[in-house]
Amino acid sequence: MGHPIDFGSIEEKLFLIQQLACASQENAKWKSSYLNAQKEEEWQVTDLQIELEDNLALTESLISSYMIECAVKTRIFQDHFTEEHFECGFSSFDKDAIDSVDGNIGTVLNGKFALSLRESCNKIIHAKKFSLIKENEDLNVFYWNGLCHLVGTFQKKEWKIELNVRNWAAAINYYHSSLIEERSEFWDNGED
């Protein structure tokens, strides 16, 4: 048998990714309601700025780790099957999952490739740079807008994508839900 995959863990991480993607702005607003955002001197950093920077750093670390875990486990699962395994073709599950989030998991900013779920997982795994994109409501209140940039190289050419993390997580969740029967087969066929 190949690597055992805890599909419940994937579902948990995808849920948390979606929740964090939706919560950042609300969290920043809430913290701005009680933390000091006033400066006596221009060079000073406020309690609010420190808290929001710390929150963003932790969020970035969690999102990166969760995305890598989900992407790696999804790719292991995908590599178990061939396109011919399914009557409609394996790639149709990928397309249906992306369509479930209005066809938008992200944008290719640099490079020439289609951003399928499979390709997005590969980009997450092989990215050399990862960053959450933050927005400012004003100079003191910034938050993660739910998007991230991933940058890497393939065959000595740089690629860059902007991934809608919430939609990506929802699409991956839909994808795994669509293949629930294959999960059993994945475990059964793996025994030698």
DSSP states of 85-123:
GSTT-THHHHHHHHHTTTT-SEEEEESS----HHHHHHH
| Residue 81, helix vs strand vs coil | coil
Q: What pLDDT does 86 receive? A: 57
**φ, ψ dihedrals at 153, nearest 5°:** -130, 150
Q: What pLDDT does 149 receive? A: 98
pLDDT, the chain, mean: 89
Element spanning 13, H or E: helix 7-32
- pTM here? 0.90
Q: Percent of the chain scored above 70 by pLDDT?
A: 87
Residue 65 to residue 166: CA distance in whole angstroms = 15
Q: What pLDDT does 96 receive? A: 93
Task: Count CB neighbours of 169 within 10 A.
Answer: 26
Report whether pLDDT(191) > 50: no
Q: What is the pLDDT of residues 6-63, one digit of tens each?
A: 888 999 999 999 999 999 999 999 999 999 888 889 899 899 999 999 999 999 999 9
Residue 57 to residue 171: CA distance in whole angstroms = 25
Residue 2 to residue 95: CA distance in whole angstroms = 26
Report whether pLDDT(159) > 70: yes
The closest alpha carbon to 117, from 86, 150, 95, belongs to 95
The closest alpha carbon to 143, from 61, 49, 66, belongs to 49
Round to the nearest angstrom and report the end-to-end CA distance of the chain.
6
Q: pLDDT band for position 64 (50/70/90)?
A: very high
Residue whose token pair is 């590599």: 79
* 186-to-108, 122, 183 alpha-carbon distances in Å: 32, 21, 5
Q: Percent of the chain scored above 90 by pLDDT?
A: 68
Q: Which residues pair with 158 in a beta bridge?
A: 153
